[in-house]
Amino acid sequence: MLREINENWITEDKLLSANDEAAVVCNDCAGCSECCTETGCMIILDAYDVKMLVRELNYSFEGLLSAGLVRFDVVDGVVLPGLGVDEKGACAFLGKNGRCSIHNARPGICRLFPLARIYHDDGSFSYFLQESECGRRTGEKIKVADWLGYDDIEDYEKQVRIYHDALKELKENCKNARSAEEVTALQSAFLKKWFLNA
Ligand code: SF4
Ligand code: SF4
């Protein structure tokens, strides 16, 4: 589900805030698990996602890794945690009934889809609809905040922004690092700060 953002998809009038409505309703995904079964399903986790998984599933971060429910992936040259996958590339949390087994703890990317986020130069972000995604959309609209379903959308957005700034800084520092050892040290410190103590 992680995709490159094509700038042509997003014109100013398509940028959404949490209070705007979007035509994302898809009949509760009835009978469809397409976004959870794509080969190599790649759901990258942020710090907020990991905190929720740890809290709701009663696992430590290390426990999630040991159980294969979370793995590390390299994204833009940086090691980040992502959801584990089975041998066919489907999400490790997809139940046998084709439904998400961790609905209340599902990560932000899953909550958003087919919406995505685009960040602006000042660090703020907007949501936008990936028009070509999810062929089951009925055209019915729902408020973005309700679609995401977080208890406190303002806190969520604040935390996402803080994490995004830290990740941006890490990428910049890794790019400017003078040795592989320095990159490893930067990476380790980032993972320790944001995930290993979750
Ligand atoms: S493609 Fe649409 S209907 Fe199918 S699982 Fe994804 S969001 Fe649900
Ligand atoms: S966490 Fe749930 S919604 Fe997200 S990819 Fe896995 S099964 Fe699908």
C-beta of 115 in contact with ligand 2 (< 6 A): no
pLDDT band at 190 (very low <50, low <70, confident <90, very high): very high
**Residues paired with 90 in a beta bridge:** none
Residue nearest to atom 2 of ligand 1 (CA): 134
Position 45, amino acid: L
Task: From the CA of 32, give the closest atom in ligand 1.
Answer: 4
Nearest Cα neighbor of 113 from 93, 134, 98 is 134
Output the CA 174–ligand 2 centroid distance in Å.
30
pLDDT digits (tens, 9 = 90+) for 101-149: 999 999 999 999 999 999 988 889 999 999 888 999 999 999 999 999 9
Q: 153-176 and 180-191 are packed helices; what angle lies between their axes, rounded to 10 degrees? A: 170
Q: Give the number of other CB atoms < 10 A from CB of residue 142.
A: 13
C-beta of 91 in contact with ligand 2 (< 6 A): yes
C-alpha distances in Å from residue 157, one per residue of 5, 11, 92, 148, 183: 20, 22, 26, 11, 29
Q: Which helix (H) or strand (E) holds 35?
A: helix 34-37
Is there a contact between 163 and 123 (Cβ–Cβ < 8 Å)?
Answer: no
pLDDT digits (tens, 9 = 90+) for 26-54: 988 887 899 898 756 689 999 999 999 99
pLDDT band at 94 (very low <50, low <70, confident <90, very high): very high
Mean pLDDT score of the chain, rounded to an integer?
91
Q: Which helix (H) or strand (E) holds 143?
A: strand 142-143
Q: Give the number of other CB atoms < 10 A from CB of residue 7.
A: 8
Is there a contact between 64 and 70 (Cβ–Cβ < 8 Å)?
Answer: yes
